[in-house]
Amino acid sequence: MRLDKFICKSSNLTRLDASEQIIGGRVCLNGIVTTSTSAQVHQNNTVTLNGQKLIARAFRYLLMHKPARTICSNVDEHYPSIFNFLDIERASELHIAGRLDADTTGLLLLTDDGHWSYNITVPAKGCKKVYRVFLNRALDDSAILKFAEGIQLQGEARPTLPSRLEIVNKKEALLTITEGRFHQVKRMFAAVGNRVASLHREQIGAINLDVDEGHWRHLTENEVSSFSQPSEIVSRRILNQPLSRLVTGERRPTDD
């Protein structure tokens, strides 16, 4: 972590105040005065400010149930920001691991730990996001194979990574994807001649949405560490199901 960020995380100073302290020669990293704001602080390093040892606050990990007609940015646009629902200190230090559109509801994960959210958002890590999709037109079984093979989205160089489409009924499906391209789910259904009527994210990795709309809770230690495990429950749960079972919409007892 950068030295200026470390100081913010271990004091009440803003990034600007922290930079001033560093440049002013009042910060020592492992006993040596350091005037570089971008110097890296590693685990077990000692940082002092005016001779006082600094201890970084623990990272925070939250889940929230995003209501419709809210936005995931801090910027005041047409709709209120989801950050308005966070009645905690320093909410502005948190970022969202995978934003949702204003009209999409469901599971958001928030943190101030950039390494952790990287494991969730980077497609190479294979973290699965499960969306419940309601559609304007009846679904056709042929979409299952198309989604499994990858969909070429307009204006994109590469098709989407393989995804899992489970048809619940004619106009409802569960879609599991490992990417987070711009309006990805809506564009995937548009590419097969359908249109998303409403969209709800109900699962990320092994974490299920279990709070009411507009509410949030801290993640448990197990939930936080579940993202460093290569095989998530969801991948066993969804990817092991034969296509025929997905087409009929039959769910296994373990699914609930």
Q: How many whole angstroms separate alpha carbon 92 and alpha carbon 88?
A: 10
Burial of 212 (0-12, 13-18, 19+ CB in 10 A): exposed
Which is nearer to ligand URA, 57 or 183 (by Cβ)?
Answer: 183
Burial of 51: CB neighbours in 10 Å, binned 0-12, 13-18, 19+ = exposed
Question: Least distance from C-beta 155 to ligand URA, angstroms?
Answer: 15
CB of 245 vs ligand URA, minimal distance in Å: 24
The residue (of 29 and 64) whose beta carbon lies closer to ligand URA is 64
Compute the CA torsion angle 30, 36, 40, 45 (nearest 10 deg): 10
- Give ∠ CA 219-221-224 in degrees, rounded to 5: 65
Q: How far apart are CA 119 and CA 127, in angstroms?
A: 7
Q: Which is nearer to ligand URA, 9 or 66 (CB)?
A: 66
User: Residue 226 has what DSSP assignment?
Assistant: G
Least separation, in Å, of the C-beta of 183 and ligand URA?
4
| Secondary structure E strands in 50-118 | 52-53, 61-66, 95-96, 105-111
List all residues 6 or more positions away from 18 whose beta carbon is below 8 Å from its beta carbon. Answer: 3, 4, 5, 7, 8, 11, 37
Does the annotation mark 101 as catalytic? yes
Q: Which of 101, 103, 113, 141 is catalytic?
A: 101
Residues that bind ligand URA (CB under 6 A): 100-101, 104, 183-186, 199
Extract the tokens encoding 36: 């570089």
Closest separation in Å from C-beta 164 to ligand URA: 15
CB of 54 or CB of 67, closer to ligand URA: 67
Query: For residue 125, what are the CA distances in angstroms to 116, 138, 228, 232, 249?
Result: 11, 33, 9, 11, 28
Q: Which is nearer to ligand URA, 109 or 199 (CB)?
A: 199
C-beta of 174: minimal distance to ligand URA in Å? Answer: 13
For the stretch 2-28, what's the b/e string if a residue is b when 16 or more beta carbons lie within 10 angstroms of its beta carbon?
bbbbbbbbbbebeeeebbebbeeeebb
Shortest Å distance, C-beta 96 to ligand URA: 11
Closest to ligand URA by CB, 25 or 123: 123
Q: Hey, which residues are catalytic here? A: 101
